Structure 1
Amino acid sequence: MGACCSSKKRKNQGDVGEIGEDDLKGIFREFDLNGDGFIQREELRAVMQKMNQSPTEEELDAMFRSADKDNDGNIDFTEFLVIARANPISLTLRAVFDELDVDGDGYITRSELRTAFQRMGHSLSDQDIKAIYKHVDQNNDGRINFDEFCEMINRKKN
C-alpha cells in the first residue's frame, strides 16, 4: 500500500479524518489490482492478505456485502467511501504507517524509524531504537509490520 498522506491537511469535501479524497482515491486504486475502476471480492482478499489480515470466507463475504450496496459484485469508489467513512481510524493508521514505510515494502525498518523521528526533530540513539523494537517487533524479524504498528498505537490509547 503505497498511498501516502502528506503532512498538509487537505480541505477537500469528503475528507475522512485527516485523509483527503485524493488520498482515498490512491488507496482505492491500490485495492483495485486490475485497474478496472472497481474492487472485486478477490481483490479485497488479496489486499487484506497483503495487510497481514486473514479474514475467513464468511468475514470476507460480510465485508464485501456491506460495501457492495448495489449488489453488482463490485465495489466502486462511492461504495468505498462509505467504508472509509465508517472506519476512518484504520485508514488513518494505514496512512501514517505508509508515510513511515518510505520504500513501500510493508515494513518499518530501523532506518525508516530513525528518519521519521529526525523529520520530527528528534534524534534516536541505537539504544532508543532497540528499546522500541523490543516492545513493538513482536515476531522479532527486525521490522515493524502494520499489525505490530496498530497494536503499538492501540496500547498507547489504553
Structure 2
Amino acid sequence: MYCRRMGIKNGKPVLRNDDILAFSHTSGLSEEQIKVKFDAFTADHPKGKIDRKSFRKMLTEAFLHSKNPMEDVEKMEKHIFRIYDTNNDGHIDFIEFMVVFHVLSEGTPEDVLRKLFRLFDVNCDGNISKKEMLRLVKDLHGLSTVSESRESIADSAFAEMDNDGDGVVTCDEFVNAVLQEKKVSKMLTMNVIDIFVS
C-alpha cells in the first residue's frame, strides 16, 4: 500500500500529482474521486492533518454504543491511532487516513488483518509479545461481553496465535490465526473491527 507525506504550498496542504496517481493505482479510486475526498478532508482538517484532539472526537462518536464511552476512548485511542499514523509523526494526514479507510472498506480479509496487526503491536517492533496482548485485552475488555478474566483471554489468544511457540506473534501468525477462525483470536479481532464499523 502506498504511503508518503503530503505537500504544503503557501501554508496549505496540497496533494501532489504523483501522490494522486500512486494512490489511484493502489486504491482503485479515480483521480477525481481522490481530489473530492481530499477537499472534504481538508475542509474538516484545514492543516491537512488530524491531530490527537480531533481523532479523540471522532472516536468518541464511534464509542457511543459502549457502556463507558469516555473510558473506552481513553483506553483505545493510542492503539487505533497507531493503525493510521504509519510514519509515527503524531498526526494522520490524508494519505494515511485514506489508506486505512480503503483497506478496511475495500481490502481483502488478509489486507484488513495486516492493517489491524498494528493495533496489537503496541511497541511497533513487528511482533506481538504476551505483555502487549495482555495490555490490549485489558483495554478492549470493556467492549466485550466475555466473562473470562483478562489474563485468561490474553493467554488463550496468544496460545492460538503463537503457532511456532517462540514467544512472539508475527503478523503472519496473527493473520493465519484469525483467518482459521480460532475462537479467541477471532473474538478479539471482531471487537476491534466493531469499532471501525460503528
Q: TM-score range by the shorter chain?
A: 0.3 to 0.5
TM-score, normalised via structure 1 length: 0.47
Give the structure with the larger strand fraction.
2
Which protein shows a greater Rg? 2
Give the structure with the larger helix fraction.
2
Bigger relative contact order (CA 8 A; separation at least 6): 1
